[in-house]
Amino acid sequence: MRKMRDILTLVCGYLNRQKIGYVLVGGVAVSVHGIPRSTVDADMILSIDEKGLPALVRFLKRNGFLARLEDARAAFKERSHFTVEDTRSGLRLDLKGIYNEMDENAFGRRQKFRFRDGDIMIQTPEDLIAAKLFYGSEQDILDAEGVFRIQEGRLDMGCLKKLCRAYGVSRKLDTLEKRVRRP
């Protein structure tokens, strides 16, 4: 049975070799920047055009993923995500393009992170916190708080505040800061 780290090594290695830009966001980024937690999916934003999708889907299929080109094309056309499942573990990849300002920010500021024998591209903690506050589920808020606590003192607060203003979540950031810094 494959583990998430095996899947990330495989898929990110392929994307790196093919020079396809990507950034891991969501739960995987939370584990890197904050409190490690288990997740059954990896969320990834790709910089790929429709012409690149067939080769990506072929790679995924050859490597044990349930992937359909029709699903990938539809997702990119509809500006949504498509899910591929690893047949060896049931773990999933949620893949999407760069569709909005939040995606552009995450992609444009992504950071290289040494992972096993290679590098993976991860969302910055500032982009991660702002996105989690924007999405706002109970788990998202816990994730944002965990990343804030772990990264406090290393965060670019000017950037974080600017992102939160742009996404309309400045009050949520203020609340989070008060909760974290409460004596």
Q: Are residues 134 and 83 in the same domain?
A: no
Q: Which of 101, 123, 145 is the last residue of a domain?
A: 123
Q: Judge whether residue 36 has pLDDT over 90.
A: no
Say whether both 93 and 172 belong to one domain. Answer: no
DSSP 34-93: S-----SEEEEEEE--GGGHHHHHHHHHHTTEE--HHHHHHHHHHT-EEEEEETTT--EE
In angstroms, rounded to a whole number, what is the distance separating the alpha carbons of residues 63 and 164? 39
91 and 71 in a single domain? The answer is: yes
152 residue type, one letter: E
CA 91 to chain CA centroid, Å, is 15
Looking at the fold, whether 88 and 42 belong to one and the same domain comes out as: yes
Q: What is the pLDDT of residue 138?
A: 95
Q: What pLDDT is stored for residue 122 in this prediction?
A: 97
The CATH number linked to 74 is 3.30.460.40
Could you tell me if 132 and 163 lie in one domain? yes
Same domain, 114 and 142: no
The pLDDT of residue 46 is: 98
Whether 183 has a pLDDT exceeding 90, the answer reads no
Residue 86 has pLDDT above 80, yes or no: yes
Same domain, 118 and 133: no
Same domain for 82 and 136, yes or no, is: no
Under the banding of pLDDT at 50, 70 and 90, the label for residue 172 is very high
Q: Do 91 and 113 belong together in one domain?
A: yes
Name the band, by pLDDT with cuts 50, 70 and 90, for residue 63.
Answer: very high
Where in the sequence is the domain holding 136, given as residue range(s)? 127-181
Number of structural domains (the chain) is 2
**Whether residues 159 and 171 fall in one domain:** yes
pLDDT given at position 2: 92
Q: Do 135 and 174 belong together in one domain?
A: yes
Residues 85 and 134 in one domain: no
